[in-house]
């Protein structure tokens, strides 16, 4: 039977996927009230939700999911019957340099939410119709070899980074609250998201912004690591389906049918930016340091740097269960999604420019400076998995 959420608590709703989900839910899925609980860490940005200001179906609470008193109060005040839990420390590189915050938010924070949900929905009078949806990652399954079959829901957990270990811990707690107490939970484990509003520490926005500024494009190791790329809009649609059609206690893997190497992503973005600048004089004026502004090629910026510690070689997702039981199917191929995403970043400089301040510069310095290995040989030309670039779906307006 389908579940109909009424009052949703969306944790981490000011982050990349959370903000896309809140807008997706209110504008397309369309029912219920959404309360966002977000601590506004470096990754949380009120601008991501600015278009919802004044919408009576939406409320924002700034706070920490580890604050049990606050979480309990939000449940009571807003009569929450549904949790969609995004809040997390999400960047693998940051987890390598500082794991503590990942354990606190991802493990302790998830437990704080589970306790509040149990108290509100199961203890005392209870709320029979409820859902706790936990947003997790394919990284909990570890790393695949080139010929291995993709991750499926029964693949044993083998997390390799502090980030993925903390997500694995949270997944196990969610499972335990279902098995032990009967909490109606669903979990989605998905692949690498990309699209609008992604903080420029992650590969795709980092590369776009570095190309525009003529800065080095840091490729870890040989760049032949494989990820499955999932457009954030498809991920949000999948979460909506899991919430309303998913069965309590079930786990669903969500993929984008977009397996490719990192170096291919980087080369594709280089070609896309070069084509945009070749066509558009305003962009050449706006980004004079980008190689294509002066007739050069962005690929000359590629720098192979020391590999990420414990770097997973390949992720791939078998999402047949979600297709069969939820009706999920990704709507965008990677080529279209990358072109749209680049276009979004070109149009929304006013969104990303303020993010490149002191704390961002410190992060870039901390993560990249010691790891440069200028002596590494350049990678052989990557196989052209993506065909040549299509025209962008929207024109880039004057700036
Ligand atoms: P993000 O880093 O962009 O956003 C995280 C959000 O959580 C931010 O708004 C931040 O302020 C908030 N937050 C962090 N700590 C908090 C705390 N203690 N209390 C309240 N709010 C807090 O992350 P994202 O990329 O949008 O990822 C969202 C979720 O999806 C995460 O759980 C992540 O593990 C999972 N996931 C992400 C991807 C991906 O490719 N980005 C893929 C699979 C799964
Ligand atoms: O697979 C799902 C996961 O995808 C999510 O659980 C994480 O929250 C999300 O951050 C993402 O993790 P990755 O580590 O795969 O994403 P990231 O964008 O950091 O890196 C993608 C690939 O690109 C990875 O193989 C590392 C590589 N990389 C990344 C950066 C930032 C580089 O080569 N250079 C870089 O500078």
Give the pLDDT score at 397.
35
Strand partners of residue 372: 305
Identify the helix (H) or strand (E) that includes residue 72.
helix 68-78
Tokens of 110: 């998830």
Q: If you ran DSSP here, which 8-state letter would residue 396 be given?
A: P
Question: Residue 398's pLDDT is what?
Answer: 32
Contact (CB, 8 A) for 232 and 16: yes
Q: Do 218 and 303 contact (CB within 8 A), yes or no?
A: yes
Residue 321 sits at φ, ψ, to 5 deg, of -65, -45
Would residue 139 show up in a list of annotated catalytic residues for this protein?
Answer: yes
- Rg of the chain over Cα atoms, rounded to whole angstroms, equals 21
Q: Which distant-in-sequence residues (6+ apart) come within 8 Å of 285 by Cβ?
A: 293
Residues in the chain with pLDDT < 70?
1, 29-30, 370-399
pLDDT attached to residue 190: 98
Q: What pLDDT score does 137 carry? A: 98
Residue 371 has what pLDDT?
55
pLDDT recorded at residue 21: 98
* Residue 10, number of CB atoms within 10 A of its CB: 27
158, 141 Cβ separation under 8 angstroms: yes
For residue 312, which atom of ligand 2 is closest to its CA? 25
Nearest to 94 by CA among 352, 366, 359: 366
Q: Is 105 in the pocket of ligand 1 (CB under 6 A)?
A: yes
Secondary structure (DSSP) of 93-126: HHHHH--HHHIIIIIIIHHHHHHHHHHHHTSTT-
Indicate which residue's Cα is closest to atom 32 of ligand 1.
Answer: 86
Q: Which one of 42, 43, 70, 90 would you pick to mutate in the ligand 1 pocket, going by the greatest count of ligand atoms within 8 A of its CB?
A: 90
Residue-wise DSSP of 268-314: HHHHHHHHHHHH-HHHHHH-TTSGGGGT--GGGGEEEEPPPTT---B
pLDDT tens for 16-64 read 999 999 999 999 866 789 999 999 999 999 999 999 999 999 999 999 9
Q: Is 218 in the pocket of ligand 2 (CB under 6 A)?
A: yes
Which residues sit opposite 303 in a β-bridge? 218
Mutate to test the pocket of ligand 2, among 220, 222, 256 (most ligand atoms within 8 A of CB): 220
Contact between residue 306 and residue 371 where contact means Cβ atoms under 8 Å apart: yes
Torsion of CA 206, 208, 212, 215, to 10 degrees: 40
Task: Say how many C-beta atoms besides its own lie within 10 A of residue 44's C-beta.
Answer: 21
Which residue's CA is the closest to the ligand 1 atom numbered 43?
A: 137
The pLDDT tens digits of the residues spanning 292-343 come to 999 999 999 999 999 999 999 999 999 999 999 999 999 999 999 999 999 9
pLDDT given at position 369: 86
């Amino acid at each position: 039977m389908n579940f109909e959420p009424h009052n949703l608590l969306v944790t981490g709703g000011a982050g990349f996927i959370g903000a896309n989900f809140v807008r997706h839910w209110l504008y397309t899925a369309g029912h219920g009230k959404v309360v966002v609980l977000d601590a506004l860490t470096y990754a949380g940005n009120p601008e991501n939700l600015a278009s919802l200001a004044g919408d009576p179906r939406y409320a924002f609470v700034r706070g920490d999911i580890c604050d049990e008193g606050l979480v309990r109060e939000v449940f009571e005040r807003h009569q929450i019957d549904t949790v969609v839990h995004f809040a997390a420390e999400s960047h693998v590189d940051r987890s390598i340099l500082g794991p503590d915050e990942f354990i606190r938010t991802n493990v302790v924070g998830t437990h704080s939410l589970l306790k509040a949900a149990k108290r509100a929905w199961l203890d005392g009078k209870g709320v029979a119709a409820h859902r706790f949806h936990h947003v997790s990652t394919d990284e909990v399954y570890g790393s695949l070899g080139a010929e291995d079959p993709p991750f499926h829901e029964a693949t044993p957990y083998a997390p390799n980074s502090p980030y993925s270990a903390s997500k694995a811990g949270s997944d196990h707690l969610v499972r335990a609250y279902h098995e032990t107490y009967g909490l109606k939970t669903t979990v989605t484990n998905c692949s690498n998201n990309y699209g609008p509003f992604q903080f420029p520490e992650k590969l795709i926005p980092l590369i776009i912004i570095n190309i525009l500024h003529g800065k080095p494009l840091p490729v870890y190791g040989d760049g032949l690591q494989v990820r499955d790329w999932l457009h954030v809009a498809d991920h949000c649609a999948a979460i909506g389906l899991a919430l309303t059609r998913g069965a309590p206690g079930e786990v669903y893997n969500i993929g984008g049918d977009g397996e490719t190497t990192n170096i291919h992503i980087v080369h594709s973005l280089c070609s896309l930016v070069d084509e945009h600048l070749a066509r558009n004089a305003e962009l050449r004026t706006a980004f004079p340091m980008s190689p294509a502004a002066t007739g050069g090629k962005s690929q000359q910026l590629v720098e192979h740097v020391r590999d990420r510690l414990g770097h997973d070689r390949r992720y791939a997702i078998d999402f047949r269960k979600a297709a069969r039981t939820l009706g999920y199917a990704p709507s965008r191929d990677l080529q279209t999604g990358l072109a749209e995403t680049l276009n979004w970043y070109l149009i929304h400089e006013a969104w990303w420019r303020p993010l490149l301040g002191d704390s961002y510069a410190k992060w870039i310095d901390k993560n990249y400076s010691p790891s440069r290995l200028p002596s590494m040989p350049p990678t052989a030309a990557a196989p052209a998995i993506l065909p040549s670039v299509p025209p962008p779906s929207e024109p880039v307006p004057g700036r």
